[in-house]
Amino acid sequence: MTCIPENVRQAWENRDGPAIFATVDAAGAPNIIYVTCVALYGDDRFVIADNYFHKTRRNLQTGCTGALLFREKEGKAYQVKGTLAYHTGGEIFENMKTWNPPPHPGHAAVSLLVEQAFSGAERLGCFEFK
């Protein structure tokens, strides 16, 4: 079972500034970027619009996992980690096209299936850990 904990959802609605999106390449080297075109999708995913990815897109094509870090207006930070998928068509892609600002190209949508959630060192969640 995966889901986005309610306190993380509430923090997302109260976020301040851009989020930080992390991926890794095939050799394990991290790449971290700011993202502003991000939305919740269903009970268990965040979706990030691929507007200007380069290294991030290459990393996604290797099948990497990733993390999204953001903070709420009061300054508390939240991090979600999970499996990434790259969508150039289909329901998730079409949904992204409805909220991604028109000046941005929206080449694809990246879904992050939330498998872990944290605030600082505190593990949050509604997960069945294996």
CA distance 29 to 122: 26
Enter the tokens of residue 54: 């380069």
What tens-digit pLDDT sequence spans the chain (130 residues)? 568 999 999 999 999 999 999 999 999 999 999 999 999 999 999 999 999 999 999 999 998 899 999 999 999 999 999 999 999 999 999 999 999 999 999 999 999 999 999 998 899 976 554 4
129 part of a folded domain: no
CA distance 49 to 94: 11
How many independent structural domains does the chain possess? 1
For position 40, which CATH number holds?
A: 2.30.110.10
Per the CB < 8 A criterion, the answer to whether 3 and 54 are in contact is no
Helix (H, G, I), strand (E, B) or coil at 22: strand
Structural domain harbouring 108: 6-124
Residue 6: count of CB within 10 angstroms of its CB: 10
pTM: 0.92
84 part of a folded domain: yes
